[in-house]
Amino acid sequence: MTTNTQITRTSNLPKIIHYAKEFLFWFVLIATFLFSIFPLYWMFITSLKPRTDVEMTPPTFMPFVDYQPTLDNYVDVFLKDRAGAGFAEADQEATRKISEFPTTLTNSVIITTVTTILAVLMGTLAAYAFSRFQIKGEADMRFFILSTRMLPPVVVLIPVFLMFNQPGELVNNALQNIPISFIQAFGESIKDFSLRNSYIGITLLYITFGLPFVVWMMKGFFDEIPKEYEEAAMMDGYSRLEAIWKIVLPEAFPAMLATSVFVVITAWNEFVFVLLLNRDNATTVPPFLFSILGYGQVEWGRTAATSVLFLIPIIVFTFLARNHLLRGVTFGAVRR
């Protein structure tokens, strides 16, 4: 049917218009393709350039043709600032210390992984409860949860900063008002506890900001699975929790994967909170990348190489999750 009408339509058109249309289509497609790919290509080839070639004008574009690729910039990523002007000398390289890059990359991986697993698990359970149980004031609660999805981080930046600085002291101040000695003693003992520069603090924060999205996505998913599905299992003697564990969660796994795509991307790329809270310890890659910029002259070769290394894990992840990517990023915005 479709092809028939299409053929009659196009054959009615003069051939030249048909070709012009086809040309225009491909022109737009390829132009946008180049626009999309060029900045990444440029980063990649720059990271392979010898130091002297990085800022050459006119620029060179073809590795192996215009220049011989080297891994010098990648060596730079793992080493601290150059000691002096003669940076090309091998003996100076030997005296340079290891940079923060390996540490920050590990931190990024740890924080993103823990955030994703916990946020998706907690959010899935909450979404299940929303979908299956009658909860009083459910609509209001959903509004509250969803509205946080678009909260600008700067709005909570000051309280987060204040609370993460000395949460122990805040709790202690409150506990000292209670005239029970062991509670006061407990308050004293946690006085110096700080959430800054720690994995726990930043992960907690990321989970909170990831949750609304997970709840939103997973609720849509659970609404589609018929209730009878686990009710049948409960008839067969499963308890509700067993039914969730053995029937619902395996069924929900692909949807949880799709949801995690977005959570991973957000946690991996988050910048503002780490910059504020984890400046000295448990820092992730984005602030590190920002810090090597320095002021004034930017070392583009090193920056490019760091960017490439930072992008590789996310490229691998998006490649592995490619079948879920489209669903993961469009769900919640596109409701059927």
Partner 1 sequence: MNVYWTRNWEKIVGFAFFLPSLIAIIIFVYGFIGWSGLVSVSNWKRGAEPDYTISGFDSYARLFGIGEKYAAGIDAKRFKTGMRNVVGFTILFIVSCIVIGFTLAAILDRHVIGEGFFRSVFLFPMAISFIVTGLTWRWLFTPGDSNIGSTGINLLLQNFGLSFFNPNWSTDMVYSIPADSGLGQLLINIGLGWFASPTFGLSLGVITLTIAAAWQLSGYTMALYLAGMRGIPEDLREAARVDGANEWQIYRHIIIPLLKPITLSVIIILAHLSLKIYDLVVAMGGEGQGFVKDMPALNMWDTTFASARFAQGAAISMVLLILISLLIIPYLISSLRQEEER
- Residue ranges in 68-107 that form contacts with partner 1 under rule CB under 8 A: none
Query: CB of residue 181 vs partner 1: minimum separation in angstroms?
Result: 28
Sign of CA pseudo-dihedral 132, 133, 134, 137: negative
DSSP per-residue string spanning 58-121: S----BTTTB---SHHHHHHHB-S-SSS-TT-HHHHHHSPB-SHHHHHHHHHHHHHHHHHHHHH
Q: 173 to 202, contacts with partner 1 by CB under 8 A?
A: none
Could you tell me the two tokens for 216? 């939103």
Query: CB of residue 72 vs partner 1: minimum separation in angstroms?
Result: 18
Q: At a CB cut-off of 8 Å and minimum separation 6, what does 23 contact?
A: none
Answer whether 168's CB lies under 8 Å from 192's CB.
Answer: yes
Q: Of 15, 35, 181, 280, which lies in the binding site for partner 1, with binding defined by CB under 8 A? A: 35
Is 16 among the residues that bind partner 1 (CB under 8 A)?
no
Is 110 among the residues that bind partner 1 (CB under 8 A)?
no
Nearer to partner 1, 152 or 179 (CB): 152
Q: Of 85, 94, 150, 180, which lies in the binding site for partner 1, with binding defined by CB under 8 A? A: 150
Q: Tell me which DSSP letter residue 133 carries.
A: S
Number of residues in contact with partner 1 under rule CB under 8 A? 93
Query: Quick one: how far is CA 221 from the chain centroid?
Result: 22
Query: CB of residue 156 vs partner 1: minimum separation in angstroms?
Result: 4
Is 329 among the residues that bind partner 1 (CB under 8 A)?
yes
Q: Of 17, 19, 20, 42, which lies in the binding site for partner 1, with binding defined by CB under 8 A? A: 42
Is 40 among the residues that bind partner 1 (CB under 8 A)?
yes
Nearest to 111 by CA among 194, 197, 193, 217: 197
